[in-house]
Amino acid sequence: MTCEKIQEKYADYLTGDLDEAGRAEVQAHILGCQACREDLENLTVVWAKLGVLPEEQPGGAVRARFYALLEDEKRKAAAAAVPQARSRLADWLTFRRPAFAASFSVLLLLLGLGAGWFLSAGRPGRESYAALSREVQDMRQQVALSLLNDPSASERIQGVGYTAEVKDPSDTTLAALFKAVDADPNPNVRLAAVDALYLFRDRPGVRQNLVRSLSVQSYPLVQVALIDFLVEVREARAVEALKKLIEAGELTPDVKKRAEQGLRQIAL
Amino acid sequence: MNAERPRIPKAERMAPTDNELMEDVRDGRVEKLAVLFERYQTMLYNFFLRLTGNRAASEDLVQEVFIRILKYRSGYLSESRFNVWLFQIARNAHIDYLRKQKPALPLDEKHAETPGREPLPEAAYEADREAELVRRALDRLPVNKREILVLFRFQNLKLREIAELTGVQVGTVKAQVHRALKDLSRVYLELQRGDLS
Ligand SMILES: [Zn+2]
């Protein structure tokens, strides 16, 4: 076998992808060929040296810019799609929100965190599993609460995503979500928070708070999301709030239409 | 109550493949791109960082890749390998970046030594001298050789994937890897000698 043929095998040799027969050929050749032997030694050394280069993490701005780009793209798509009544649950679930795109990755992250906790905690027996689960839940909520206070909107959206993965959120967590719906400077965070609260719609206070929220909400998209929510859960108390909203005459035409339609749907 | 939560079951599902996600993005569910972003941003960032040696430019290039994915998403074919498609976009973004940097520079061979590698602080340099030497050696390779090493060694692309990406035979890629490593080894040893004297 020629030196050239042997050298073709080096790439696979270095990655460990060369089969046994191939390795045997290389070994046999370098026994008798000093040039190739030295060549391969050098390559092996430099291959290993490349392994010392650390992987760097990109700055947080990369993520913020990406999510801004994605929001932009989704707004364009939503504008093209003409928002219509969304009475079907399936529609509702695939709604325009960013939170659940983000929350999938958050979920992966959490699974990782959870697994890490699991390992670092040794081998908890069956009896401590509940405690462990509780611990993970608490951790999620802590992370969520701290992210919800982050200056970056994409971080806050991630924070909302975390809360959506909590099985039984504390009152503090729910309060943070209500606050986000009412007062977050970014409408996408508000939308994400409405979405997350849908998961906790059976918790006391959630529906009332969102009915109240309807009267203070200023973003049309969020108004629509709130109406969708309240229609979806057939919230009777929303009837009064919707009527007032329509009478006040400050709604955009689209939202007004949705509110009137919502009124009819809740009554059904 | 938990049982009827519509979004929870995804926790129990298998994670979707890159290809499935990209098909979703192509078909209008652009929010799925967030999952691909989370999977690939670090890998892309390091790809660009090793090619350009410039952190700010690498961050810009990561963003550029996702802009292009959105722009060209309708052309994504289901039978594509997502990572090959992604790196095709990444390579093109890098080529365009190089053009903007030095309009007259030919992309292949000879010149292409990277400008603007940010110097490490003194302490980090001492602590990580070997890594720095490797980095400098990589920087001195012509960009096409550097790229092939970065793809093969750091991005873990298979030889056949690199062949697909660069439009050459697998045998050619093997030879290119060999030559690039040989050059890197030579440059590294030169630098090391220079360093020691
Ligand atoms: Zn030989």
Do B97 and B19 sit in the same domain of this protein?
A: yes
Q: Specify the DSSP class assigned to residue B9.
A: G
Smallest CA-to-CA distance from B47 within B63, B36, B38, B58 is with B58
Would you say residue A82 has pLDDT above 70?
A: no
Among B74, B103, B132, residue at a domain's last position:
B103
Tell me which chain B residues have a C-beta less than 8 angstroms from the C-beta of A202: 1
DSSP string, B88-114: HHHHHHHHHHHHHH-TT--SSSS--PP
Do B140 and B81 sit in the same domain of this protein?
A: no
DSSP string, A156-178: HHHHHHHHHT-SS--HHHHHHHH
Most B CBs within 10 Å, among A46, A74, A137, A160, to test the B interface: A46
> Is B171 contained in some domain?
yes
Q: Of A164-168, A260-264, B132-136, where does mean pLDDT reach its minimum?
A: A164-168
- Domains of chain A listed by start with CATH number: 1-50 (no CATH), 51-267 (1.25.10)
Do B157 and B86 sit in the same domain of this protein?
A: no
Do B24 and B98 sit in the same domain of this protein?
A: yes
By Cβ distance, the residue of B2, B46, B66 closest to A55 is: B46
CA end-to-end distance (rounded Å), chain A: 83
* Structure confidence by residue, pLDDT tens digits, A13-65: 999 999 999 999 999 999 999 999 999 999 999 999 898 888 899 988 999 99
> Is B7 contained in some domain?
no
Pick left, alpha or beta for residue A246 (phi over 0 → left; psi -120 to 50 → alpha; otherwise beta).
alpha
Among B41, B74, B103, residue at a domain's last position:
B103
Q: How confident is the model at residue A130 (pLDDT cuts 50, 70, 90)?
A: low
Smallest CA-to-CA distance from B87 within B33, B27, B162 is with B162
Do B72 and B19 sit in the same domain of this protein?
A: yes
> For residue B157, what are the domain limits?
121-197
User: Exposed, middle or buried: residue B45 (CB in 10 Å: 0-12, 13-18, 19+)?
Assistant: buried
Do B81 and B147 sit in the same domain of this protein?
A: no
* Structure confidence by residue, pLDDT tens digits, A180-231: 999 998 888 888 898 888 888 888 899 999 999 988 888 888 888 898 888 8
Q: Which residues of chain B have pLDDT under 70?
A: 1-14, 102-127, 195-197
Do B126 and B67 sit in the same domain of this protein?
A: no
Q: What's the one-letter identity of residue A241?
A: A
**Residue A111, helix vs strand vs coil:** helix
Contact B31 A98 (CB under 8 A): yes
> Is B93 contained in some domain?
yes
**Calpha distance B142→B94 (Å, rounded):** 14
Do B92 and B126 sit in the same domain of this protein?
A: no
CATH of the domain at B186: 1.10.10.10
Query: Which residue reads 């090619």 in tokens?
Result: B51
List Cβ neighbours of A251 (8 Å cut-off, separation of 6 or more).
Answer: A220, A223, A245, A259
Do B24 and B90 sit in the same domain of this protein?
A: yes
Q: How many domains does chain B have?
A: 2
* Cβ atoms of A95 and A74 closer than 8 Å: no
Q: What is the pTM of this model?
A: 0.55
Do B181 and B136 sit in the same domain of this protein?
A: yes
How many of the other CB atoms lie within 10 Å of CB of B114?
19
C-alpha to C-alpha distances, A162 to A135, A140, B150, nearest whole angstrom: 14, 6, 35
Q: Would you say how long chain A is, in residues?
A: 268
Tell me which chain A residues have a C-beta less than 8 angstroms from the C-beta of B175: 7-8
> Is B9 contained in some domain?
no
Distance from the alpha carbon of residue A9 to the mean position of ligand 1, in angstroms: 12
Do B30 and B85 sit in the same domain of this protein?
A: yes
A95 interface with B at CB cutoff 8 Å: no
